């Protein structure tokens, strides 16, 4: 079947916006924490957290983040370790580093007031066109289109755009239609409505077309193609990698953590010391950590998926008694109740009951 690329004139914008807003008034999400109060700072943090992450997961993280960093000045002056600790578990940690850098830029360049235009917002680290549009529309009530993953899916189905996601043939008409459909009035509600529709009814799998307010205006539904739009991305099988971490405890029950470099996987987070899978553990502990191993035990490995590869993490639990020789500033002993934020798979290892090792 010949693929169709929709033009911006396919549907009258007032029909789309009107039907969507009527649905939103009854069925939309009106009590999300970043909506009360709906400030530019709170909307921005929420939008960054919501990238690649579900609303249900974000809510608790958002509330904790706001309690620790209630305004942009508090975020700007906070130590990087604190910011990463409150992001730990959300993944995609470059988001947190960019958020922190952007907060510093806003304080330095805008006297702590978030910019009000899409272009100025996009000049800040980590803010793309859709996120900038969401801030302008949601926080300031000014006209700006958005095109997050949910909005893309809704509009792609409305216009039956079957091009491959990520290509110009897909993105360009979507932005044209997003601009056309976004109304001048109630733009705050409209942007929330299209995100809500994509999250609740116009889902990737098994869209609930029977309850969709835009069903009668949807080309994909009319053609019976809603299940294959958006077209699935061709994904190569993710390569497998392996590593080994050391879960080192001292005689006081403290665990040894190592701060990772600022860039790369888990950049800037505290994690367990990492070594080659086949490394000599006793030798590494003695020569690199300055520790004599009293006892060691192999833990069950765990798997963790990243965007481009899967990681098999072997873990060796190590017990030491003498800790005086730890001198590296990137390494530190932490008591269980004072542990900083760590990556999710490392938290799984540390939160699993430890085997008592005989010395």
Q: Are strands 240-249 and 310-320 parallel, antiparallel or unpaired?
A: parallel
Where b means 16+ CB within 10 Å and e means fewer, 305-322 reads eeeeeebebbbbbbbbee
- Measuring CA to CA, which residue among 41, 82, 39, 32 is closest to residue 59? 32
Give the orientation angle of helix 80-87 with respect to helix 94-110, to 10 degrees: 130
Give, in degrees to the nearest 5, the angle at Cα 41 between 76 and 78.
20
- H helix intervals, the chain: 13-27, 40-50, 55-68, 72-77, 80-87, 94-110, 118-122, 129-140, 149-158, 168-181, 187-200, 219-223, 281-287, 344-351
Q: What is the DSSP letter of 206?
A: S
Strand partners, 333: 256
Place of tokens 């009814």: 201
Strand partners, 208: none
CA distance 142 to 138: 8
Identify the active-site residue in 14, 15, 47, 113.
47
- The answer to whether the CB of 225 falls within 8 A of the CB of 160 is yes
Is residue 73 part of the annotated active site? The answer reads no
Question: Largest Cα–Cα distance in the chain?
Answer: 76
| DSSP string over 65-112 | HHHH--SHHHHHHS-HHHHHHHHTTS--THHHHHHHHHHHHHHHHHTT
Give the orientation angle of helix 13-27 with respect to helix 187-200, to 10 degrees: 70
Which pair of structure tokens corresponds to residue 290?
């300055």
* Residues forming the active site: 47
């Amino acid at each position: 079947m010949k693929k169709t690329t929709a033009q911006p004139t396919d549907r009258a914008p007032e029909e789309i916006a009107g039907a969507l807003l009527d649905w939103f008034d009854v069925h939309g999400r009106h009590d999300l924490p970043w909506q009360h109060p709906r400030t530019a700072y709170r909307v921005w943090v929420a939008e960054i957290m919501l990238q690649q992450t579900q609303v249900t997961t974000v809510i608790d993280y958002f509330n904790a983040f706001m309690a620790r960093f209630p305004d942009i000045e508090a975020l700007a002056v906070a130590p990087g370790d604190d910011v990463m600790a409150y992001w730990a578990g959300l993944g995609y940690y470059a988001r947190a580093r960019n958020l922190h850098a952007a907060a510093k830029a806003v304080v330095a360049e805008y006297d702590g007031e978030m910019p009000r235009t899409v272009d100025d917002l996009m000049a800040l680290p980590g803010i793309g066109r859709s996120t900038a549009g969401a801030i302008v529309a949601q926080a300031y009530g000014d006209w700006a289109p958005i095109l997050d993953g949910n909005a893309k899916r809704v509009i792609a189905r409305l216009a039956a755009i079957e091009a491959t996601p990520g290509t110009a043939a897909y993105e360009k008409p979507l932005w044209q239609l997003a601009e056309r459909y976004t109304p001048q009035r109630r733009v705050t509600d409209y942007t929330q409505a299209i995100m809500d529709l994509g999250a609740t009814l116009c889902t990737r799998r098994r869209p609930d077309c029977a309850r969709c307010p835009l069903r009668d205006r949807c080309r994909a539904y009319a053609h019976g193609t809603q299940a294959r739009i958006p077209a699935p991305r061709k994904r190569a099988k993710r390569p497998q990698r392996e590593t080994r971490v050391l879960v080192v405890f001292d005689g006081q029950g403290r665990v040894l953590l190592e701060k990772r470099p600022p860039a790369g996987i888990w950049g800037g987070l505290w994690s367990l010391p990492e070594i080659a899978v086949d490394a000599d553990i006793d030798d590494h502990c003695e020569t690199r950590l300055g520790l004599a191993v009293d006892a060691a035990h192999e833990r069950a490995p765990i798997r963790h998926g990243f965007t481009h590869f899967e990681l098999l993490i072997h873990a060796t639990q190590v017990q030491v008694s003498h800790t005086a020789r730890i001198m590296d500033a990137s390494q530190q002993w932490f008591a269980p109740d004072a542990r900083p934020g760590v990556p999710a798979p490392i938290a799984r290892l540390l939160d699993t009951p430890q085997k008592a090792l005989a010395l």
